[in-house]
Amino acid sequence: MDDDPKERRGSDAPEADDNQTVEMDPTSTVLDLTSFQLHHLDSVELSPSLTELDLTANRLSRLDPRIAHLLSLKKLSLRQNLIDDVAMEPFSHWNELSGLEVFQMSHS
């Protein structure tokens, strides 16, 4: 069986594009946006209660500064995006993410 990202999110999960708002339950702690082909997170609501944020396989070229304010975040995946070293530089100054346990960024 193939590992389909839609199955991990649920079959009714919305497909997003740059003109669609991605809404989530404000009490949810996990947001999996794998393969949504997002160029930015402007249309994504980031709940402060998030503990896991998976942005794997999108078209992101920069970090959204709102991520720095996700104080409960334990896992962040930015794999398979377009983020380069220059765009990652602000991440080193985000002291608010000191509780981050897993950070994945290979092939970005």
Single pTM value for the model:
0.75
Specify the pLDDT at position 108: 52
Using a pLDDT cut of 90, give the percent of the chain over it: 57
pLDDT per residue over 9-26, tens digit each? Answer: 443 444 555 556 777 787
Average pLDDT of the chain is 83
Q: Read off the tokens for 81.
A: 């995006």
Place of tokens 């950070």: 103
